[in-house]
Copies of this chain bind each other. A is one copy, B any other.
Amino acid sequence: MPELATASDGAQVLEKNGAIGAAIEKLTGLFKDRCSTSMALREQHGHTTTWLKNQPPDAVVFAETTEEVAEAVKICAAHKVPVIAFGTGSSLEGHVNAPFGGVSIDLSRMNNILEVNAQDLDCRVEAGVTRKQLNSFIRDTGLFFPIDPGADASIGGMAATRASGTNAVRYGTMKDAVLGLTVVTADGRIIKTGGRAKKSSAGYDLTRLFVGSEGTLGIITELTLRLNGQPEAISGGVCPFPDVASACNAVITTIQMGLPVARIELLDEVQVRGCNIYSKLDLPETPTLFLEFHGSEAGVQEQSETFSAIAEEFGGGPFKWATAAEDRTKLWAARHDAYWAGKSLKPEASIMVTDVCVPISRLADCVAATAEDIRNEGFLAPIVGHVGDGNFHVQILVNLDDPEEKQRTEDFVGRLALRAIAMGGTCTGEHGVGQGKQKYMAKEHGEALDVMRAVKQVLDPHNLMNPGKILPQS
């Protein structure tokens, strides 16, 4: 297989040649005041909710159509200038940083919902549509888009990072939700992958090759999405456990029994304390599961009762139903505000969030070993997770301006990633690789990483599509 050009090949060399200036001139001619080099805007487009340092692009272009994206990519390709796709900037691992400079293509103005086919439970949206915008738009159709990573991310960005979230245990991830894509390739061509059929055996699955490719193989500009019917009934509630292990074991049994739980989230005692303070709850400060069941009235009642019995078997409970919609909303708002709740425990701290995913049988072990590591380091670091999938997050409250503390944090994250991989899991369940997780890719993928490099090489031979992400420099 061919050697992949290093991240610097296209970018750094040509930047020295003034290629970026020439590209910006062409882009300004085309996009007028929708091409900007203002430092504030550039920093905003390098900045993310990440612990990595801001690396702003040289310019930001606000595209309004797929054709405009293609034109911008063609101009950048002609000048061998890097291109970074930007949605809402809510990614966590430095995905939108521009380590080699280049042009950020902001897709947030591509926010049209192009069609909703209620009969087929699908829709077609532009990449800049956000998940909340989509769900507001389709509410009256009786459908909903279930992928919920917490942040009001753009759908294009969610596809690019293979996002998931609280509902994934029941409804899957972006891998499952995307039926087809419109993609601008590295040479500025517009291709369509997949389609509207629920399944197909017609050739290579390019849709899922682009989902999770973080803008390194092409730019997603439109998506055909699978939608789900709004459940007839929803019930939910919280269930305390004496320790993390018993909570995890209750989750394992729930999943094994095939109970079609829609959400099953673990908050450790630190996280519960944060939620009590930030969201004004009065939960016992002990490891707690937040649950939600979707189905018919009788179905959700039956599921709740089955879960209650499981919880009791593992020493947990009582399972407190939140039957009223407003109580449920308050609970899930608290869950979604976990990030801020964590921060409220140590307001002066910076936050480094990381995630891993393991086979569910190893979940209790992995969480326990991680909690011990947190204690050993003396970190304040709530744990919260989409445990039905074996996926959990650690939010480390540290002072990242202190080089020693930053290093200890990075080392902790590294141990966590390798612990998950050693347990047959992955260094990231849903946040993506970006810059932050590149160093674990060789360990996780072995020689398969060469196949990834080969695919990157052939689809982006000059390494201009979001260079410096996913694939570590070899």
Contact = CB atoms under 8 A, between A and B. Distances in A.
A50 interface: no
Interface stretch (A5-13, A249-257, A402-410): A249-257
B459 A205 contact: no
Contact of A202 (B185, B206, B428): B428
Nearest to A471: B203
A25 B423 CA distance: 43
Contacts of A452: 203-204, 206
A196 B359 contact: yes
Interface stretch (A103-111, A209-217, A263-271): A209-217
Contacts of A449: 203
Interface string A108-129: 0000000001111110000000
Nearest to A361: B119
A374 B193 CA distance: 31
B431 A185 contact: no
A191 interface: yes
A341 interface: no
A457 interface: yes
A403 to B, nearest CB: 28
Interface in A176-192: 176, 185, 187, 189-192
A212 B205 contact: yes
B206 A256 contact: no
A164 interface: yes
A120 B359 contact: yes
Contacts of A190: 447
Given A117-B359, A201-B431, A448 B191 contact: yes
B360 A119 contact: yes
A358 B76 CA distance: 38
Contacts of A425: 195-197
Interface string A412-428: 00000000100011111
Residue among A190, A205, A457 with the highest chain B CB neighbour number at 10 A? A205
Interface string A162-174: 1110001000110
A465 interface: no
Contacts of A29: none
Contacts of A164: 199
Given A119-B361, A431-B201, A451 B192 contact: no
B201 A428 contact: yes
Interface of A: 1-2, 117-122, 142, 161-164, 168, 172-173, 175-176, 185, 187, 189-193, 195-206, 208-209, 211-213, 217, 228-229, 231, 252, 255-258, 260, 296, 298-299, 302, 357-361, 389-391, 420, 424-433, 437, 440-441, 444-452, 454-459, 470-471
19 contacts: A1-B459, A117-B359, A119-B360, A120-B360, A120-B361, A168-B199, A172-B176, A175-B205, A197-B426, A197-B429, A198-B390, A199-B357, A202-B444, A203-B212, A203-B470, A204-B455, A205-B205, A229-B256, A299-B299
The 10 closest A-B pairs by CB, nearest first: A229-B258, A200-B426, A458-B458, A119-B361, A208-B208, A196-B424, A197-B357, A191-B448, A197-B425, A120-B359
